[in-house]
Amino acid sequence: MPYLRALGWAAFASAPVLIATLAVASSRPAAPGSLVTRALWACWIAGALAFVAALLHHRGAERSARVVGAFAAVVVALWLGFLVWLSAALA
């Protein structure tokens, strides 16, 4: 059962990356073609970190879980910031 909860947190962490990337890629014709491929890498990294954080929290290592969860949030925030910059640069 802890794996299902951890998978949910992984999906919750990686969904904004992919949804925002698809929105930028579909609304900006000048967006690079490799944008979606790179977004999948960012999704995988953020999801894996959130998965590990959820498993650590389940095992009782709350401090480590917070640190790893913060890394997942940083990955998501950096990618979304990059998308904001890219969409402004392409306008």
Question: What is the per-residue pLDDT across 16-75, written as a single tens digit (0 to 9) for each?
Answer: 999 999 999 988 888 888 898 999 999 999 999 999 999 999 999 999 999 999 999 999
Tokens (6 digits) for 78: 């950096």
Q: Return d(Cα 91, Cα 86) in angstroms, integer.
A: 9
Cα–Cα distance measured from residue 10 to residue 43, given in angstroms and rounded to the nearest whole number: 9
Summarize pLDDT for 30-46 with one digit per residue, the tens: 888 889 899 999 999 99
The Cα-based distances of 74 to 1, 14, 68 in angstroms read 27, 12, 10
Spatial CB neighbours of 12, under 8 Å, sequence gap ≥ 6: 50
Asked whether the whole model's pTM tops 0.85, one would answer: yes
**Kind and range of the H or E element at 71?**
helix 62-90
